[in-house]
Amino acid sequence: MPAERFVITERPKNSPLLPDDTIYIVRLPPATTTTPPPTPPPLGIQPGSGVAPDSDGWFA
């Protein structure tokens, strides 16, 4: 279960119904994604790709 997120905010400037000098804690909905995106493969030549540098170091 994802952890709950909270944000601390001040009183809205144009809201006369809320008292001044009050800090409000607003509950946020849980994050939509609970798992991080998969990490991309490292840059460079992957083993078994069939690509090898030429004798001068450039790739074909």
pTM metric for this prediction: 0.18
Q: Closest Cα partner for 7 from 24, 21, 22, 19?
A: 24
Average pLDDT over residues 12-31: 63
Q: How confident is the model at residue 27 (pLDDT cuts 50, 70, 90)?
A: confident
Please name which of 40, 39, 12 lies closest in space to residue 24, comparing C-alpha atoms: 12
User: What's the gap between Cα 55 and its chain centre?
Assistant: 42
Listed by start position, the domains of the chain span 1-31
Rounded Cα distance between 13 and 11, Å, is 6
Closest Cα partner for 28 from 13, 10, 11, 9?
Answer: 9
Q: Kindly tell me if the per-residue pLDDT of 16 is higher than 60.
A: yes
